[in-house]
Structure formats: structure tokens, C-alpha cells
Structure 1
Amino acid sequence: MTVVGYAPGVYDLFHVGHLNILRHARQHCDRLIAGVVSDENAARVKGKYPVVPLAERLEVVSALSIVDEAVAEVWGSKREAWDHVRFDVIFKGDDWRGTPQGAALEASMAEVGVRVVYFPYTVHTSSTQLRRALELLEGREPEAAAV
């Protein structure tokens, strides 16, 4: 049986943390689908729009040899993503483990038999840090971190 993995993320300002999640995910499935979160969903969840537009983020992630397919995640939940993509395992950074969001994801995925696998979160590089650096370079005050 082919194990289909799903690695959702905004993948804004693509960096080594994104690459690490995708590399780890590739090792745990036969087919890897990356769900690139839409601009609107990213803004709803993070409180701000990505720097790089969805079409460009899709192009970057699609070009990676470790990703079999990249899809625009335009759905309102990971359960809706499963309804469209049909994966066996979903991958998240371990910053989700033990959080209310992680517990909700685990419960939702358990309903359809999907395993949730967590990988180490790359603490030293993040899109938020890169965004702040860009804002400083532009001479602007960095935006407050989204909750």
C-alpha cells in the first residue's frame, strides 16, 4: 500500500526550516503532497498576508524533487484538506505538539484514520524572523508577532 503524506505550510520566504520539514516528511511516506496555504487562510490564521504570493510559493515548493505534488490549501480546515487530497499521514512541526491546535488536529485526523507526525521545529530560522529583518531593512518598525 502506498502511504500518502501531507505537509501543510505557508512556505513564505522559503527557508531551511521548511526544507527540513519536507525532508523529514519524505522519509515517512511513499508520496509527498505539500499543502501550500492560501494567502487568505494564512492571513486568517496568522493575522497577516504572506510576503510571497501563493502562485510563487506553489512554484517554489513544486520545484523540489522531494515533493511529488504541491496543492493550494484553500480549504478552511485540515479535515477539508483530507476530503480533497486523501492522505494517510499529516506532518507538522513539533511546536504544535501539546497545544490546543495540535490536540484538535489529532482528534480531527483520528476520525478519518490519519496519523499526525511531528518533526523538530527549526528555531533559529523562521519566516517571521525573516519578515522582521526585511521590515528593518526597509526602515519600518517590525509588525507585532501574530498570536
Structure 2
Amino acid sequence: MKTVLTFGTFDVLHVGHLRVLERAAALGERLVVGVSSDELNMQKKGRSPVFSQAERLQLVAALSCVDVVFLEESLDLKRDYLLRYGADILAMGDDWKGRFDEFSDICNVVYFERTPAVSTTAIIEKIRL
């Protein structure tokens, strides 16, 4: 069984997230998703997520294309997560292009083109107006 793994915050879940997850799922038979913890999101983005980690885990787990969801607590543990879940493929958005090539020794690394004009930041800004 080919396992695909991806990571993300998945805050304010939108069609761009769904498209990446569906495309990732199509690469294998099992899709595993690491959802960034609230603390990790603060470290990465300098802000708290709109939805809590528990809510984001529940939202992502409810998607039919997702088989397994776990809490990503550290960027430094990516290799450990890939090995723990037996990832054959790491799939990420192309905003991360080249950043995860170091894992090509243990799995294939694929970068997907982002959905144009769709981002969590843009959605949050639109809501604020």
C-alpha cells in the first residue's frame, strides 16, 4: 500500500487545502496528514490559528480523502513522522519547493502548484473588511 504524507496548518479550511489533499490522495492508497499544533503555528506564522488544533484535526479527519491525521508538534521531527507513518511520498504545496528535498533519501518528494488567488491569509483579511 503506497502511503502519501503531507503537512499543513489547515486553518480556515478552504478549497485550496481540499485540492492539495485530493491531489495528494490520488498519488497513493493512504493519505496521512500532519496538522500543525497551535504552538507550532505560532512559531511558523507568528499568530494563533483561527481554529484550535483540536478543531483543525477534526475538520481534516472528516474529509473523505484523508485516512490518518496526527498532530505535528515540531518541524524538526518531519523525518521521524515520515518514517513512523511509512511514507512513500511526501506531497507539499509549491510554496515549499526545495525545502523538503532532504527527505528524498527516504521517500519521493512532490510539490503541487498552489490554487491561484486562494490563501488563508487572504481569506482572513477579506473577513476583517
With normalisation by structure 1, the TM-score equals 0.81
Cα deviation, 1:17-48, whole Å, max 9, x if unaligned, reads 00000010011011001111111111111111
C-alpha distance in 2, partners of 1:95/1:59?
A: 25
Runs of 4+ aligned structure 1 residues displaced above 6 Å come to none
C-alpha distance in 2, partners of 1:123/1:82?
A: 28
2:6 — aligned with what?
7
Q: Which segment drifts farther, 42-51 or 9-18?
A: 42-51
In structure 2, list runs of 5 or more residues that go unmatched: none
Q: Give how far 1:83 is off.
A: 4.1
Q: State the AA in 1 paired with 2:82.
A: W
Q: Aligned with 2:23: secondary structure? A: helix
In structure 1, list runs of 5 or more residues that go unmatched: 137-147
Kept after mapping to 2: 8 A contact 1:75/1:81:
no
User: Identity, % of aligned pairs?
Assistant: 37
Pair 1:82 & 2:82 matched: yes
Kept after mapping to 2: 8 A contact 1:38/1:73:
yes
From the CA coordinates, give the structure whose radius of gyration is larger: 1
1:145 — aligned with what?
none
C-alpha distance in 2, partners of 1:92/1:32?
A: 12
Q: State the AA in 2 paired with 1:36.
A: V
Distance 1:76 1:95, change over 3 A: closer
C-alpha distance in 1, partners of 2:65/2:4?
A: 12
Q: State the AA in 1 paired with 2:114.
A: Y
Of 117, 120, 123 in structure 2, the residue corresponding to residue 127 of structure 1 is: 120
**Count of residues paired in the alignment:** 128
